Structure 1
Amino acid sequence: MNEDTTECASLRADGIPTSSMSTSAETCPTPIGKVVMASMAGATLEWYDFTLYNALAALVFNRLFFPTVDPLVGTILAFSTYAVGYISRPIGGIIFGWAGDRFGRKTVLLVTLFMMGVSSLLIGLLPTYDAVGAAAPLLLVFLRFVQGMALGGDWAAAVLLSTEHGSQQRKGLNGSFAQIGPAAGTLLATGALWIVTTTVSPADFASWGWRVPFLLSVALVAAGLWVRRSIAETPQFRSLKQKHEVAQSPITEVFQSHLGSLFVAGGVRIGTDVLYALMATFSLTYVSQVLKLPRPIALAGVLSGAAAQLVLVPAFGSLSDRLGRKRVYAVGIATGVIAAFAVFALFDSRQPVWIVIAVIFGFAAHAAMYGVQASLVTEQFDSQVRFAGSSLAYTFAGVIGGGFAPLIIATLYKRYTSPLPISLYVAGALAVSALALACSRSSEARPN
């Protein structure tokens, strides 16, 4: 029994030490079930809010905040503010990456969750262009910037919370729990939009209905803060503190000694983000604005795809523990290339069932990569700079890959009025990820 376990054994059920030793619950190992909940809670909230914005940028923000331009141009401008949320991620990655390796994962988890919750609440209360003019899109951009910073810091904290707790032979599965958060957030956000859009008129939805899902995020903030306050710091970071091996300048060390790992870890993300932008964001625009089909059909596809990811993400994470990260990730890349072309053929059928199947297929390809991504990215860095390195890789790749992807995709379609250039763009991004994957290092599965 190690020191932490011995000390924890001296705690009564109410958490008060039975010995004279000053023992805190903070030094006690946290049950993996609670770790999973804490890891998922923040990611679920943050991707709930992020998905709301993404969907509403495609559905109503073009008219509410950019009403003086053509609808498709307004959509492009709305996606430009979407890009701001990605541009600000590296700032959050730098700030919170430094803090996470200097002061621990838990502090970052609480701060980023609070930032995301407050900014999302304010978006729900934001006046539109008709009320305050140009100040409306400016305020929207600012709040989007704050959201991006929070998400840029939270991802690595949530992932390391999962991978640094529990069995190291199950890092793929443990890391995938943090990756379920985006799927759960997407599911909740799309479900909320589905309920609102099917219960209120289009005029009421544009007037006030779109605000309701943002305001409901307050409940997720409260739940997330309650869970995250109860967890312990990760064993690996506590070990670094005890040995006085905490990095003093983690950001500098990443650029000086881990630059190759930074490029590899970021590169594997690019194709994943671009594919996600196609399936979760542009699919709404294509089905509702290009094909002129009812909005609930598009939302049903995204809702079904997100629900499938709740199962597929941990399944692929667990599979990577047995078959190896690279093999599973490579399958996801290959499937994603197929999906980039196949989904538009299924969309153009105009049949609701085929549209839903197309989105599920695209999300399944994404899950094969995303379920492995947490463990694969964090394995590229030593423990002293793991938070900083993972944050920088995640956020900078997010700008290059996902940040501008909806804008590029919408612009490509406006320029060529054909989905083929979009499919080629997604396939090219996945090719970049394939190259980075070939250069990565990974803890391959060992036979039993």
Structure 2
Amino acid sequence: MRTSHRPSLTRLAAAALVGTAIEFFDFFVYGTAAALVLGPLFFPTFSPLAGTLAAFATFGVGFVARPLGSVLFGHIGDRRGRRPVMVGSLLLTGATTVAVGFVPTYASIGVAAPLLLLLLRFLQGLGLGGEWGGAVLLTAEHAPAGRRGLWASLPQIGPSAGFLLANGIMLGLSTTLTDAQFAAWGWRVPFWAAGVLALVGLWLRSSLVESPAFLSMEEPARLPLAEVVRGHGRLVLLTAGALAVGYAIFYAVTTWSLAYGVERLGVSRSVMLACIMAAVVVKGSLTPVAALLGDRFGRRPVCLAGCAVAVVWMVPMVALLSTGEPLLMFLGFLVALLAFIAMFAVIAAYLPELYEPRVRCTGAAVGYNLGGVLGGALTPIVATALAGEGAGVPWGVGLYLSGVAALSLGCFVLLPETAPAAVAREAVTA
């Protein structure tokens, strides 16, 4: 049995939060660029709609790679520890993001340009597929049981911070540069900045100590993925289905809505980014509140409540977006993201608790990232196709998102409760 001292939870959670913020900055800056400029630059022979679809297809490749990354890094996390995952995933994601900033456009090297973009996006997704498992598990496994939801939710603020940082830079560039300057070189700046941020993240994570749950294991799993498939296959599928709605909501708001507002509604990039970013600020600030509710009332009830709101709100959200009015668009985005965070703040503690420690890194990460394929990879593509080029409210997009939410609600119903306090109350009642 291996031993280690217990570190400061505050320091550990801060390092995990900063790391996830940096890695999701890398991931989100690509999504914003795909919505704004990558179509014309890398797929110029396509129509505007087809170019946007192609750009979103390269965006979706990152999600397809994420489950593969969770298998690769999950194996390392269950065999060698959670800490190496946090360092390796950050290094891979940061390097590939910087490389995207140097890829020549179609006008310079022809078809090799989108192929390079596709390859780098795949590698970027591979790195991010390992990030969540390492950061959340290391924090959750150090946290006390009664406050595990709160502590584990802090790395979940990282995606909000990364999104705000990525889009804040994009907003600043889009408002200070001309359209020609932004298309020529301005969009590359956030990708170059990722290199500096990755170095900061690596420095912060270099001093972290290993998880006590991993150190206390007598014998790590030899083939974690095989054990997960054999003993937890149903659980992986249920968690993937349950989490699909969260990804669908987030990327419908932050990626598809951005492209739709700019290209179809004629709203300026700066206004669209400001509306989305304001909603993300509120969502990020309320993440610990949702996690505390999960500690108090149980993980599953909070997830069910958020998912139920998503079922009924997606159609109104699309209608509010279609007005093109900033305040109404902000309202639509805000309610959708609050439903999202009710689930995803709690998931940081919920998923690790569903799996035994010897396969936890693989099982939790694979379920989490498969949900990304179902919800995140497909949503911008499907929504863009459903919206088409016609006028009027794209009701089909709202119905599609509500359908995804209904599927996830059914999966959450089938999942068990894991919060220690809630489980104890159920035992006493029984």
Instruction: State the partner residue of 1:433.
Output: 408
Mapped contact 2:354–2:418 kept (Cα < 8 A):
no
Alignment partner of 1:113 is 2:98: no
**After TM superposition, which residue ranges in structure 1, 4 or more long, deviate above 4 angstroms?**
415-418
TM-score norm. by structure 1 comes to: 0.91
What is the rounded CA distance, in whole Å, between the counterparts of 1:226 and 1:338 in structure 2?
A: 44
What is the rounded CA distance, in whole Å, between the counterparts of 2:325 and 2:229 in structure 1?
A: 50
Instruction: State the partner residue of 1:44.
Output: 21
| 3-state secondary structure, aligned to 2:370 | helix
What is the rounded CA distance, in whole Å, between the counterparts of 2:288 and 2:388 in structure 1?
A: 37
What is the rounded CA distance, in whole Å, between the counterparts of 1:149 and 1:399 in structure 2?
A: 13
Could you give the per-residue CA deviations for residues 23-71 of structure 1, whole angstroms, max 9, x where no partner exists?
xxxx221111111122112211111111111111111001110111111
Instruction: State the partner residue of 2:158.
Output: 181
Deviates more, 1:143-152 or 1:294-303: 294-303
Could you give the per-residue CA deviations for residues 106-136 of structure 1, whole angstroms, max 9, x where no partner exists?
0011011000000010111111111111111
Among candidates 146, 153, 164, match of residue 169 of structure 1: 146
Map residues 25-424 of structure 1 onto 2, 5 A cutoff.
Answer: 27-240=4-217, 244-414=218-388, 418-424=393-399
RMSD: 1.6
| 3-state secondary structure, aligned to 1:90 | helix
What is the rounded CA distance, in whole Å, between the counterparts of 2:390 and 2:63 in structure 1?
A: 26
Could you give the per-residue CA deviations for residues 395-430 of structure 1, whole angstroms, max 9, x where no partner exists?
222212211111111111117764211111111111
The 1:393–1:415 alpha-carbon spacing in structure 2 relative to 1, beyond 3 Å, is farther
Displacement of 1:358 in angstroms is 2.0
Displacement of 1:339 in angstroms is 2.7
What is the rounded CA distance, in whole Å, between the counterparts of 2:390 and 2:299 in structure 1?
A: 37
| 3-state secondary structure, aligned to 2:354 | coil
Instruction: State the partner residue of 1:11.
Output: none
What is the rounded CA distance, in whole Å, between the counterparts of 1:166 and 1:302 in structure 2?
A: 32
Deviates more, 1:329-338 or 1:425-434: 329-338
| 3-state secondary structure, aligned to 2:210 | coil
Mapped contact 2:96–2:120 kept (Cα < 8 A):
yes
Instruction: State the partner residue of 1:9.
Output: none
| 3-state secondary structure, aligned to 1:69 | coil
What is the rounded CA distance, in whole Å, between the counterparts of 1:250 and 1:47 in structure 2?
A: 26
In structure 2, what residue type is equivalent to 1:152?
A: G
What is the rounded CA distance, in whole Å, between the counterparts of 2:372 and 2:237 in structure 1?
A: 12
TM-score norm. by structure 2 comes to: 0.95
| 3-state secondary structure, aligned to 1:217 | helix
Mapped contact 2:225–2:363 kept (Cα < 8 A):
yes
Mapped contact 1:331–1:368 kept (Cα < 8 A):
yes
Displacement of 1:204 in angstroms is 0.4
Instruction: State the partner residue of 1:8.
Output: none
Mapped contact 1:279–1:359 kept (Cα < 8 A):
yes
Could you give the per-residue CA deviations for residues 331-360 of structure 1, whole angstroms, max 9, x where no partner exists?
111222233112222223322222222222
Displacement of 1:183 in angstroms is 0.7
Instruction: State the partner residue of 2:428.
Output: none
**Structure 2, gaps ≥5 residues long:** 426-430
Mapped contact 1:336–1:365 kept (Cα < 8 A):
yes
Mapped contact 2:304–2:413 kept (Cα < 8 A):
no
What is the rounded CA distance, in whole Å, between the counterparts of 1:320 and 1:145 in structure 2?
A: 34
Displacement of 1:266 in angstroms is 1.4
Could you give the per-residue CA deviations for residues 158-194 of structure 1, whole angstroms, max 9, x where no partner exists?
1101110121111111221121111110111111111
| 3-state secondary structure, aligned to 1:379 | helix
Number of positions where the alignment pairs a residue of Structure 1 with one of Structure 2 = 421
Mapped contact 1:379–1:442 kept (Cα < 8 A):
no
| 3-state secondary structure, aligned to 1:437 | helix
In structure 2, what residue type is equivalent to 1:84?
A: V
| 3-state secondary structure, aligned to 1:258 | helix
User: Which has more radius of gyration?
Assistant: 1
What is the rounded CA distance, in whole Å, between the counterparts of 1:41 and 1:225 in structure 2?
A: 10
